[in-house]
Every structure is written in C-alpha cells, then in structure tokens.
C-alpha cells in the first residue's frame, strides 16, 4: 500500500459570510502538491475570499480549511511556506521606498516588524528579484517602475519567503500584454520547478493553457477538473449563468455571454482580455 499524500490545500464544506452576505457556501476543494490550479468565475463570485480563507485571513463560519495538513488559522511558523500576491498592491507606490525593501517586506512574517533584516534576509530578497528578472532595479524606487515591473516585484515579495505554495489574485491586472506574457512564463517556470500555485484570474485564455486544474467558483465550486473538461459551453453555464459560451479566437479561448430575452437572468459581464 502506497503512502498517502497530504494535499497542499484542502477545504471541506466551507461557508464564509460577511454579515448577512454569503461569500462562499459549502465549498469543498482539494489541491495536490505541485499542482497549478486556476480559479475562474464571474466578478463577485468569491475568488478572492477563497484565497484569503486558504491563507487564514478570513475565518469560515462552517467547514474546515487545511494547508499542508494543518488548520489554515493555526499554521504558526509554517506560514512562511505560503506566498501571496494580492490583487491590490501591498504598498503605496507613492511612498519613496526602494524595490529591494519592498521585497524584504515579504520576510517580515519570519523576522518580525521590530527586527532589522539580516544579511541572509537581504540575500533571499535579492535572489527573489533575480528569479523575476528585476535585480537590476533593486535600488530603484517602486513608484518609478511600470505596472508590469511593479507586479514582478510583488511576485518577488511573495517568493522572498521561499514558499512551497503560491497564491495569486488577478496578478495580471493593470499589466500591459508584453509584461503579462513574461509574468505567465515566470509562473509556468515556478510550476515546472515543483511549486504549488493557485491563481484567481478572469483571463480564461491563459488559464486554459497554463494550469493543470480549473476550479470554477460562483459562491460554490461549481466545476473542478482539467481545463478541457471544465471549459466547455454546457459546463460553463453553471458558473457564469445561462448564455455563457466558450469561443476560440485563433488559439485563445474566451467566455462570451449571449443576450438574454427580457425577463430572464441578465448576462454576466464577460471577462476582459
């Protein structure tokens, strides 16, 4: 009998509420080590809440969340195994802070806010910048960078803790197409090296070509499987609503929504890109 593999992430019957609003309802999801999972769904469907719940930043009212076999809100010193790139920039780009210092912020969970970074911390931060090809801008102020360059720095900030699990929330938002391609190449490289990645994205074209598994979320995990199983017309209607269809423009697939007759459920806004 083989040794049982502990999932990198496991949610069982998780419900999250904000006041009277249900953000996630009875969500179950299992992510194997080294998998790249894309989380898709319409705006307001709970993608960000799902990531924050896995991180232990949001507590569910019901259900269990485990990361590397431990409760998400009790990881303690194991938390450094997680890296997070939020949708909203983690620093004010108007503040005169250098790129290397932004990346060092990613290690504060290990070194503490009151301790000065050590030479080892700075080496780890610089190595993270090398991973994203931004080491030559280590002494530049963050506000002087382009949107694509800043996003690479924020990825480096998440990598500075040398995580085993990387979570990204719409990482390509505000990034020009060229820089977006470079960012996705970086994520693919990290995945090939064995990192477990969860990425929330509205960019179905990228998700369909980049990830191992897709979880389509609309308060619940409506669909979960390989891209070719999940990203089809009939399956997507359960996540995006009636009228959602999956079209290929060249080799790139997109979600579009047909116009509904008056009185029927209004269409979900199609993803950009």
- On the question of pLDDT at 13 being above 50, the answer is yes
Question: 3-class SS at 69?
Answer: coil
What pLDDT is stored for residue 108 in this prediction? 76
Is CATH 3.90.1150.10 the right assignment for the domain spanning 9-232?
A: no
The pLDDT of residue 129 is 96
> Burial level of 188, CB count in 10 A (0-12/13-18/19+)?
middle
User: Within 13 Å and on the Cβ side, how many CA atoms surround 232?
Assistant: 8
Average pLDDT over residues 241-246: 62
pLDDT of residue 121: 92
Mean pLDDT value of segment 232-246:
68
pLDDT in tens, 103-155: 999 887 655 555 688 899 999 999 999 999 999 999 999 999 988 889 899 99
pLDDT 10s digits, 41-65: 988 999 999 999 999 999 999 999 9
Residue 89, pLDDT score? 74
**pLDDT value for 268:** 38
Instruction: Work out the percent of the chain whose per-residue pLDDT is above 90.
Output: 55
What's the predicted TM-score (pTM) here?
0.84
Classify 218 in phi/psi space as left (phi over 0), alpha (psi -120 to 50) or beta: beta
By mean pLDDT, which of 9-13, 57-61, 182-186, 204-208 is the weakest? Answer: 204-208
Domain residue extents for the chain: 9-232
Cα separations in angstroms, 153 against 32, 137, 156: 27, 10, 5
Task: Give the confidence band of 270 by pLDDT, cuts at 50, 70, 90.
Answer: very low
Asked whether the beta carbons of 29 and 35 are under 8 A apart, the reply is: no
258 has pLDDT over 60: no
What local confidence, expressed as pLDDT, does residue 97 receive? 92
To the nearest whole number, what is the mean pLDDT of the chain? Answer: 84
């Amino acid at each position: 009998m083989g040794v049982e593999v502990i999932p990198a992430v496991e949610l069982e019957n998780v419900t999250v509420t904000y006041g009277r609003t249900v953000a996630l309802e009875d969500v179950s999801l299992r992510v194997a080590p080294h998998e790249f999972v894309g989380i898709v769904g319409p705006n307001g469907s709970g993608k960000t809440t799902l990531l924050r719940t896995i991180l232990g930043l949001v507590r569910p009212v019901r259900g269990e969340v485990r990361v590397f076999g431990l409760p998400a809100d009790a990881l303690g010193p194991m938390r450094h195994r997680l890296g997070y790139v939020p949708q909203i920039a983690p620093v004010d780009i108007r503040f005169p802070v250098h790129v290397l210092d932004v990346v060092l912020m990613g290690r504060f969970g290990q070194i503490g806010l009151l301790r000065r970074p050590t030479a080892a911390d700075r080496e780890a931060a610089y190595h993270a910048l090398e991973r994203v090809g931004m080491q030559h801008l280590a002494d530049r102020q963050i506000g002087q960078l382009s949107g694509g360059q800043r996003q690479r720095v924020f990825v480096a900030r998440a990598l500075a803790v040398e995580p085993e699990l990387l979570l990204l929330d719409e990482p390509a938002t505000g990034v020009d197409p060229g820089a977006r391609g470079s960012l996705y190449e970086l994520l693919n490289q990290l995945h090939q090296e064995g990192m477990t990645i969860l990425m929330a994205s509205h960019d179905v074209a990228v998700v369909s070509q980049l990830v191992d598994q897709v979880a389509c979320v609309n308060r619940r995990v409506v669909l979960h499987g390989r891209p070719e199983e999940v990203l089809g017309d009939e399956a997507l209607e359960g996540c995006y609503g009636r009228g959602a269809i999956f079209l290929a423009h060249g080799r790139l697939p997109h979600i579009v929504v047909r116009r509904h007759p008056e009185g029927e459920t209004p269409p979900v806004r199609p993803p950009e890109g």
